[in-house]
Structure 1
Amino acid sequence: MGQPRYVVIAGDLMQKIAAERWPVGELLPTEPELAAEYGVSRETLRRSLRRLEVAGLISRHPGTGTRVERSTPVAAFTTHLGSVEDLTQYGEAAVRSVLSVEPITVDAELSAVTGLAEGARQVCVTSTRRDPGSPDEVVSWARVYLEPGDAKAVAGDLAEESGRLIADSIEARTGRAVDRVVQQVRAVGVPAEAAAHLGVESGSPGLEFVRRYYDASGALFEVTVSTHAGDRFVYETVLQRR
């Protein structure tokens, strides 16, 4: 099965930027022009541009255009999340590999971190994510907590390396969709198990993300606790005046 069209277009644009078809500081053609050149919709083209933006190659400015910032991708892994939909971008930009899947019972310590009820039965999915631009480099180590029924429904998806979010797989398999995500970020010392996969010293500076996924009824159905090495990950938030 071939790569999605937007991935192919992003790769072509990256090659053209590296070859200085558009030098650093120059604007790319407009979205309508690029969409027409590649014969795709503007939404597909925007997905391609998001991959370039994640790689640090371009910056987009409403009213001005898309400017080339670098000819080669940045070393750090950068993610920009501004909506539930942007979480899909994160999935596209970092491929998940599952390390283990095991049933657990939520204890008091885990309940305090995740918001899951103490004593609840969950399935813990431990995984890493890698930057496709540097496939040998792990950018995050995570534990995802799922209800047993949801975990069973997506077991086949978890068995394969994928950029797809687990929440998206749950929706596809069960119809249970994400209505909102509550995210907390804090500075941590990287735990020993995470450090072994991230290639850093245990206790070195890191960022911990706790994301709680709620469905339309307000039920908490997935919690992800991910750890990133502090010197290799950039989390970007854009605040725009309404």
Structure 2
Amino acid sequence: MGEPRYVVIADDLMGRIAAGRWAVGELLPTEPELAVEYGVSRETLRRALRRVELGGLISRHKGIGTRVERTTPFTRFTTKLGSIEELTQYGEAAVRHVLTVEPVTVDAALSAVTGLAEGSQQVCVTSLRRDPERPEGAVSWAKVYLRPEDAKAIASDLGENTRLISDLVEARTDRAVERVVQRVRAVRMPAEAAAHLGVEPGSPGLEFVRRYYDALGTLFEVAVSTHAGDHFVHETILSRR
């Protein structure tokens, strides 16, 4: 299997910048223009631009455009992850099965875990991820907290599919994921999660809390996913680039 399309586009854009197609300080074509040129969706194009931006070659400014900042990437260590999906190592085949969608008021305990403001109103999407290659059980159990307006915008898209909820929000609103902060910790498996994952309550597990921020620094989504510790490995590769 080849590289994801957005990775190929990002590499091509970086190559064109390095070759002087656009000078430092010059604006790239608009997102719609680039999407047409590469024959991809705006979502795929934005992922490619984020990858180029992480290398330090461009900066993006609302109302101005995408500006070239340098012709060669920063030299630094970075996690070698092709997409936000890979942060949790599901693989693209893991299908989401929504269990419940319900409004919640963030209490002190939930605020401490998620970073959401205590007393704020959220919509909680509880779901399982199942891998077709592992029919005997679920990969993870998760609760995703969304702003009510974002939850309403993606309500028709929450059927069984493999896309991240953050991807759905990007596709249906003007939000774009600018930054994801992930925290991983060892936990005792909650009873509700254990029942769905087929393990004993209180058995070892891993909890991933991912906080999604948009370009304005607004925390608009928090995903709390739990994995059984005896059949889950989280691997990070560090490479110099």
TM-score by length of 1: 0.65
8 Å CA contact 2:93–2:131 kept in 1: the answer is yes
The answer for the alignment partner of 1:148 in structure 2 is 148
- RMSD between aligned residues: 2.2
Q: 1:91 to 1:106 in 2, by over 3 A?
A: farther
CA distance in 2, matches of 1:169, 1:43: 18
CA shift, 1:175, in A, is 2.3
Structure 1 unaligned regions, length at least 5: 1-9, 11-30, 32-41, 48-80
The answer for the alignment partner of 1:197 in structure 2 is 196
CA shift, 1:91, in A, is 5.9
2:180 partner SS: strand
Q: 1:135 to 1:157 in 2, by over 3 A?
A: farther
The answer for the alignment partner of 2:225 in structure 1 is 226
The answer for the alignment partner of 1:94 in structure 2 is 94
- Following TM superposition, the consecutive aligned residue runs of length 4 or more in structure 1 with deviations greater than 3 angstroms are 81-84, 88-91
CA distance in 2, matches of 1:231, 1:240: 28
Letter in 2 for 1:102: E
CA shift, 1:86, in A, is 3.9
CA distance in 2, matches of 1:43, 1:122: 33
Letter in 2 for 1:143: K
* Deviation per residue, 1:69-111 (Å, 9 max, x gap): xxxxxxxxxxxx7447242674613111000000000000000
1:203 partner SS: coil
The answer for the alignment partner of 1:69 in structure 2 is none
Structure 2 unaligned regions, length at least 5: 9-78
The answer for the alignment partner of 1:240 in structure 2 is 239
CA distance in 1, matches of 2:198, 2:112: 28
Please identify, of 103-112 and 125-134, the stretch whose mean Cα deviation from structure 2 is larger.
125-134
CA distance in 2, matches of 1:150, 1:172: 11
The answer for the alignment partner of 2:107 in structure 1 is 107
2:102 partner SS: strand
Q: 1:117 to 1:150 in 2, by over 3 A?
A: same
CA shift, 1:43, in A, is 4.2
* Deviation per residue, 1:1-29 (Å, 9 max, x gap): xxxxxxxxx5xxxxxxxxxxxxxxxxxxx
What is the total number of aligned residue pairs between the two structures?
Answer: 169
CA shift, 1:133, in A, is 1.0
1:240 partner SS: strand
CA shift, 1:186, in A, is 0.2
CA distance in 1, matches of 2:214, 2:167: 12
CA distance in 1, matches of 2:225, 2:238: 24
2:240 partner SS: coil
The answer for the alignment partner of 1:170 in structure 2 is 169
8 Å CA contact 1:178–1:213 kept in 2: the answer is yes
User: What fraction of aligned residue pairs are identical, expressed as a percent?
Assistant: 70
The answer for the alignment partner of 1:85 in structure 2 is 83
Q: 1:138 to 1:43 in 2, by over 3 A?
A: closer
Letter in 2 for 1:192: A
CA distance in 1, matches of 2:216, 2:226: 29
CA distance in 1, matches of 2:112, 2:90: 26
CA distance in 1, matches of 2:4, 2:217: 30
1:27-176 to structure 2, matched below 5 A, reads 43=4, 82-83=80-81, 85-87=83-85, 90=90, 92-158=92-158, 160-176=159-175
CA distance in 1, matches of 2:135, 2:220: 30
8 Å CA contact 2:80–2:239 kept in 1: the answer is no
CA distance in 2, matches of 1:91, 1:153: 25
